[in-house]
Structure 1
Amino acid sequence: MTASSATAFRPRARTRTGGPWDDGPKILEHVLGWIFVVVVAMLVTRLGLL
C-alpha cells in the first residue's frame, strides 16, 4: 500500500452531508424557514385543506 492510498482510507474530521451551512448567517436561515412556513400555510388555506 502506498502513502497516498493509505491516506484515502483515513476518515475525515468532518464530512459534509448537504445540510445547511454551519458558518453561514443564522438569521437568514431563520427568516427563510419562517417564509417557507407562511407559504405552506397560505397554500393549505387557499386549497381548502384546513
Structure 2
Amino acid sequence: MNSSTAAPVTRARTGGPDDRSGLVEQIAGWTLVVVIAMLVTQLGLL
C-alpha cells in the first residue's frame, strides 16, 4: 500500500498546552488537592 494514498491518522488529545481545559477541570483539580491535603493533615503523615 502506498503511504501517500493512506488516510490521515487522527491523533488522540493528550492534554498538552494546545488542549484548552475548561473551568470545571480546574475546579475539580484544586478540589482534589485540597481533599488530599486535608487527609494528610488528619492522618499526620507529614
- SS of 1:29's partner is helix
User: In 2, Cα distance between the equivalents of 1:23 and 1:44?
Assistant: 31
Provide the aligned C-alpha RMSD in A: 2.7
Could you tell me the TM-score, scaled by structure 1's length?
0.55
Runs of 4+ in 1 over 3 A off after TM superposition: none
- Tell me the alpha carbon deviations over residues 7-48 of structure 1, each in whole angstroms, 9 at most, x when there is no partner: 25x4x2x511564xx466x11011001101001101111110
- Unmatched segments (≥5 aa) in structure 2: none
Q: Residue type of the partner of 2:30?
A: W
Q: Residue type of the partner of 2:6?
A: T
Percent identity of paired positions between Structure 1 and Structure 2: 46
Taking the TM superposition and a 5 Å limit, the aligned residue runs for 1:15-26 are: 15-17=11-13, 19=15, 22=19, 26=22
Instruction: Determine the structure 2 residue equivalent to 1:42.
Output: 38
